[in-house]
């Protein structure tokens, strides 16, 4: 049988999550709700930071960057999931596939860096309050944010280039719901050793190192919290810290499981479940856990709603 390679095949078929009709309807409804929450929460946070001068601090500068990442990360993946779930046409062109992979990789890596810098920001604020403004100065913040984006974009471009140099002759069906490296590697009839090595190195440098820096920062934060004499204050700080750490661990954990497992351990169903968490769930949780619960954010939202609709907020 004539092999189907990259030059003769210009489209992939995304198999999606399920072929069972009632489950498809359930998935679409679930993703629609999650997507609306994600867009609304992240847009709201970005707006609140812009209109409230009290929130124009290093912490909210990075939270705004995180909201931008989550907004576009979710928009890169979730609409396509819904489209291939309800449509008979589940195909995606090579160009669209490469574009989706580029944005998902660059945004995913940027989120790793931003989460690590945010943890460091909280460490500096809690453990070194007298030196906080010196440590988290404007130049440092801009450099960290810009560096996160630039490194992530370069990293994504390298992976996309290497991936689409492979001949895809085993099949044109991707057993996944978007174009991601591990599922695509399985379609290649050429050895993907180089691609996997580069992927592991990238995941170790970006994912593992960011996660370790985040954990170290939280260890120092927890150590500082334990010194708080007030039981109520300690409980409140632990509550906030634990929710942040839970979401961070969920994101890093699923991402690293996806990209650090050996090729032989990959499973389509496990891949899908892991990918769902860091592409759809954490972008929805981040603005809620990090910001919307904050009293300054809530007060700003309440004040703005009162200005626009005074009859709604008494």
Residues 266-307 pLDDT 10s: 788 899 999 999 999 999 999 988 876 677 777 777 777 677
Give the residue-averaged pLDDT of 47-59: 87
Both tokens of residue 295? 């009293």
Was domain 11-308 assigned CATH 3.30.530.50? no
SS3 content of the chain, % helix, strand, coil (to 5): 75, 5, 20
- The pLDDT, as a whole number, for residue 309 is 63
- The pLDDT, as a whole number, for residue 8 is 45
Whole-number average pLDDT of the chain: 88
Please give the angle made by the CA atoms of 14, 70 and 287, to the nearest 5 degrees. 135
Nearest of 99, 58, 110 to residue 283 by alpha carbon = 110
Both tokens of residue 188? 């290649």
DSSP designation for 206 = I
C-alpha distances in Å from residue 204, one per residue of 48, 260, 277: 35, 8, 20
- The pLDDT, as a whole number, for residue 55 is 84
Query: What's this model's pTM, rounded to 2 decimal places?
Result: 0.90
Q: For residue range 27-40, what is the model confidence (pLDDT) as tens digits?
A: 999 999 999 999 99
Q: For residue range 100-129, what is the model confidence (pLDDT) as tens digits?
A: 999 999 999 999 999 999 999 989 988 888
DSSP labels for 227-260? T---HHHHHHHHHHHHHHHHHHHHHHHHHHHHHH
- The pLDDT, as a whole number, for residue 225 is 83
Nearest of 136, 71, 149 to residue 105 by alpha carbon = 149
pLDDT above 70 covers a percentage of the chain that reads 94
The per-type count for the chain, helices as H runs and strands as E runs, is 12, 3
- The pLDDT, as a whole number, for residue 6 is 45
Q: Which of 41-55, 95-109, 207-221 has the lowest mean pLDDT?
A: 41-55
Beta bridge partners of 11: 93
């Amino acid at each position: 049988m004539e092999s189907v390679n990259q030059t003769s095949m210009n489209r992939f078929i995304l198999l999606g999550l399920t072929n069972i009709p009632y489950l498809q309807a359930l998935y679409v409804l679930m993703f629609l709700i999650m997507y609306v929450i994600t867009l609304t929460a992240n847009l709201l946070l970005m707006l609140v930071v812009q209109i409230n001068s009290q929130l124009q601090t290093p912490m909210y500068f990075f939270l705004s960057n995180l909201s931008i990442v989550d907004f576009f990360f979710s928009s890169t993946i979730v609409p396509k999931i819904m489209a291939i779930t309800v449509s008979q046409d589940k195909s995606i062109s090579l160009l669209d596939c490469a574009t989706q992979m580029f944005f998902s990789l660059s945004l995913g890596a940027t989120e790793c860096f931003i989460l690590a810098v945010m943890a460091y920001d909280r460490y500096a604020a809690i453990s070194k309050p007298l030196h906080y403004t010196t440590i988290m100065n404007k130049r440092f913040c801009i450099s960290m944010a810009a560096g996160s984006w630039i490194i992530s974009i370069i990293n994504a471009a390298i992976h996309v280039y290497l991936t689409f140099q492979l001949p895809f002759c085993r099949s044109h069906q991707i057993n996944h719901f978007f174009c991601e490296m591990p599922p695509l590697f399985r379609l290649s009839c050429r050895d993907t050793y180089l691609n996997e090595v580069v992927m592991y190195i990238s995941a170790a440098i970006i994912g593992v190192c960011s996660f370790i820096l985040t954990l170290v920062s939280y260890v120092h934060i927890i150590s500082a919290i334990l010194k708080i004499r007030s039981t109520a204050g300690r409980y409140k700080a632990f509550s906030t810290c634990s929710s942040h750490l839970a979401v961070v661990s969920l994101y890093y954990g699923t991402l690293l499981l996806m990209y650090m497992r050996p090729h032989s351990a990959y499973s389509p169903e496990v891949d899908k479940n892991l990918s769902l968490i860091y592409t759809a769930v954490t972008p929805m949780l981040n603005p809620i856990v990090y910001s919307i619960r904050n009293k300054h954010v809530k007060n700003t939202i309440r004040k703005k709603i009162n200005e626009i609709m005074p009859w709604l907020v008494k």
